[in-house]
Amino acid sequence: MNAPLLSIRGVRKSFGPRQVLSLDVLELAVGESYVLTGENGSGKSTLLRVLAGLEKAAVDGCTFDGCPVDLANYPEWLRGAVIYVHQHPYLFRGSIRDNVAYGLKARGMSADKREVLIREAIAWAGVDALLDVPAQRLSGGEKQRVALARARALSPRLFLLDEPTANLDEAARQQTLRLIRDLCQANSTVVLACHDREIIDLPHMHRLHMSRGAIEASHPQAASA
């Protein structure tokens, strides 16, 4: 196993009287892929949102790449290293190109460098033919691929993907699955919450099964023949 990228301990999160996270320890290694499984309501999406800084939780301690992190005051540098992709990704009005370019512009990247990354991400996601289609007219699968392209263009250290293949028809699911396989084979750390058996069974995928807000077991997959 590679060195830890993110290590977190003592995570507690409640919505009113209902406790949705009660996590003792979680370590994510550099370049490894993890899938969170469990019933609806087991805490998978909430955990991803806490790691992404989108939900507040009580946390005893957290480090990212060896640096202490206060998740309650989520640092800006960490937002550049961690990217969350929602099950129903939000796309801005405008073109696919505008959507992929958004984060790069926000980082102040030059137009020349930005253009190279935009073209690469669009080609990678296979959405070249959709460049003239307004974002609001894209199908669910097309929106998911654009969101993954937008995330990949930012070169994060940690991808957090929430049910990326849910509610897609089979053709769209396979297209999205191809992109997920590619992300998992790259050098980024990937964490997915899903019920998709084909993702769960990917080679070298570490399965983290959640129940009542806690991780019950870790099951590293064997390499495929």
Chain centroid to Cα 30, Å, comes to 14
Tell me how crowded residue 151 is: count the other CB atoms within 10 A of its CB: 24
Confidence of residue 2 (pLDDT cuts 50, 70, 90): confident
18's enclosing H/E stretch is strand 18-29
Asked, for residue 225, whether it belongs to a domain, the answer is no
Tokens of 1: 């196993």
Asked, for residue 107, whether it belongs to a domain, the answer is yes
Digit-coded pLDDT (tens) for 130-161: 888 888 889 999 999 999 999 999 999 999 99
Asked, for residue 146, whether it belongs to a domain, the answer is yes
Lowest mean pLDDT among 68-77, 127-136, 142-151, 212-221: 212-221
Angle between the N-to-C axes of helices 170-185 and 140-153, in degrees from 0 to 180, rounded to the nearest 10: 10
The pLDDT value recorded for residue 205 is: 94
Q: Would you say how long the chain is, in residues? A: 225
Mean pLDDT score, 52-79 = 95
CA 29/CA 119 separation, integer angstroms? 30
CA 184/CA 187 separation, integer angstroms? 8
Residue for token pair 């505008």: 98
Mean pLDDT score, 114-121 = 94
Digit-coded pLDDT (tens) for 93-111: 888 999 999 999 999 999 9
Tokens of 62: 């957290």
Closest CA to 90 of 40, 162, 193: 162
Tell me how crowded residue 215 is: count the other CB atoms within 10 A of its CB: 19
Sequence-ordered strand ranges (E) for 71-128: 82-85
Digit-coded pLDDT (tens) for 173-189: 999 999 999 999 988 89
Indicate if the pLDDT at residue 217 is higher than 80.
no
Range of the domain at 82: 4-220
The pLDDT value recorded for residue 125 is: 96
Asked, for residue 198, whether it belongs to a domain, the answer is yes
pTM of the model: 0.92
The pLDDT value recorded for residue 70 is: 94
The pLDDT value recorded for residue 221 is: 56
Tokens of 57: 């939780």
Asked, for residue 42, whether it belongs to a domain, the answer is yes
Q: For the stretch 113-125, what's the b/e string if a residue is b when 16 or more beta carbons lie within 10 angstroms of its beta carbon?
A: ebeebbeebbebb
The pLDDT value recorded for residue 218 is: 66
Tokens of 142: 């097309």
Mean pLDDT score, 157-170 = 95
Are the C-beta atoms of residues 194 and 163 closer than 8 Å to each other? Answer: yes
Confidence of residue 223 (pLDDT cuts 50, 70, 90): very low
Indicate if the pLDDT at residue 210 is higher than 50.
yes
Domain count within the chain = 1
Asked, for residue 129, whether it belongs to a domain, the answer is yes
| Burial tier of 212 (Cβ tally within 10 Å: 0-12, 13-18, 19+) | middle
Mean pLDDT, all residues of the chain: 92
Indicate if the pLDDT at residue 224 is higher than 60.
no
Confidence of residue 118 (pLDDT cuts 50, 70, 90): very high
Give the CATH number of the domain where residue 160 resides: 3.40.50.300
